A and B are shown apart, each in its own frame.
Chain A
């Protein structure tokens, strides 16, 4: 019973559209270095001006993404850049990954509680997991329905990334860019190559 209530609270039984049609959607985004940033920028280019303001979240160890974001959003839309500790470095061990993810959650929760976004959009780095969990918590606590939107990287043709496998279970909308993945993951949305 409790589980059903919890699931209903986060919108698993039905997809709710934005409750206040007059208010503009507030996006919260998650980016990282290299390919992840490039891909999410391409997705952002396609979103209309209705998706505003944009709050970018990057890992504190990431130097390159901030410049890319500033260059992209200049004259485009109100935006902020927020840093949280990186959940996991490449090749980091499992046990220390759990610790660093919990650490990142300590930053993600206050951030999401303050920003109350309509949507969290992310595409792969482990950094987005604590943000999405925080987003789900807002829903569970009845504070705000946060739509979790995940777009798996174009690099993933046959297998999902670790983040993808986690967020396949937690997201509202899960996009893949190759039909071989759509066949393996029935809940995934396939609209062809997006980036």
Chain B
């Protein structure tokens, strides 16, 4: 079953949860071949139940020890702009659509999402443009995201501190 996994990390993003379970978005997802919607809603004000969407099978929860399995099984990840969520989805090699919460005051988190978008690692939209983006998205343009190289840090430090 083609699955969409929606995550808001440790925060809340009611507008995204509402948008993604709306009939309008659900129809678009169905038309694109998705059949299952899994939602991680965090501290959101509500947890959608299985009947919230006529077109898709819905599963929702607030938090899990690890969302790695849900990430792994997703054919599409829709995430808030949090760095942890983005990096986890990209690390799992999943196509990623980031939905920016334009109601948030301190949005330094956007810096990373914006850069990753410029580098073609993810798609990017707001709640108001979600339907349109899902309708027209071309996931084949997304570039794989190579992992970071902590060994460069270690080598540098070893030399600088004279560690054998």
A pairs with B:
yes
Q: Is the CB of A50 within 8 A of B156?
A: no
Q: Do A192 and B150 touch across chains, with their CB atoms under 8 A apart? A: no
Q: Are the C-beta atoms of B108 and A155 separated by less than 8 Å?
A: yes
Q: Please give, as numbers and ranges, the residues of chain A lying within 8 Å of B114 by CB-CB distance.
A: 157
Q: Are the C-beta atoms of B150 and A17 separated by less than 8 Å? A: no
Contacts known (A46-B151, A46-B154, A195-B150); A159 close to B161, Cβ less than 8 A: no
Encode B1-23 as 1/0 by CB contact (under 8 A) with A: 00000000010000000000000
B-side contacts of A194, CB under 8 Å: 148-150, 152-153
Could you tell me if B160 and A173 are in contact, using CB atoms closer than 8 angstroms? yes
Given contacts A18-B162, A51-B163, A154-B87, A159 and B108 within 8 Å (CB-CB): yes
Do most interface residues of chain A lie in helix, strand or loop, or is the interface mixed?
loop
Which of these, A46, A50, A157, contacts B150 with CB under 8 Å? A46
Q: B161 near A178 (CB under 8 angstroms)?
A: no
Q: Which residues of B contact A43 (CB under 8 A)?
A: 150, 153-154
Does A45 lie within 8 Å of B150, measured CB to CB?
A: yes
Instruction: Determine how close the nearest CB of chain B comes to the CB of A87; give it in whole angstroms.
Output: 18
Check B148–A193 contact: CB distance below 8 A.
yes
Residues of A contacting B111 in the complex (Cβ-Cβ under 8 angstroms): 155-159
Number of interface residues of B (CB under 8 A): 27
Q: Report if B64 contacts A (CB, 8 A).
A: no
A177, B149: Cα distance in complex, Å:
10
> A149 contacts the other chain (Cβ, under 8 Å)?
yes
| Complex Cα gap A159–B87 (Å) | 19
B interface, CB within 8 angstroms of A: 10, 82-84, 87, 106, 108-109, 111-112, 114-115, 148-154, 156-158, 160-164
Residues of A bordering B, CB below 8 Å = 15, 17-18, 21, 25, 34-35, 38, 42-43, 45-48, 50-51, 91, 118-119, 147, 149, 151, 153-159, 161, 173, 175, 177-178, 189, 191-195
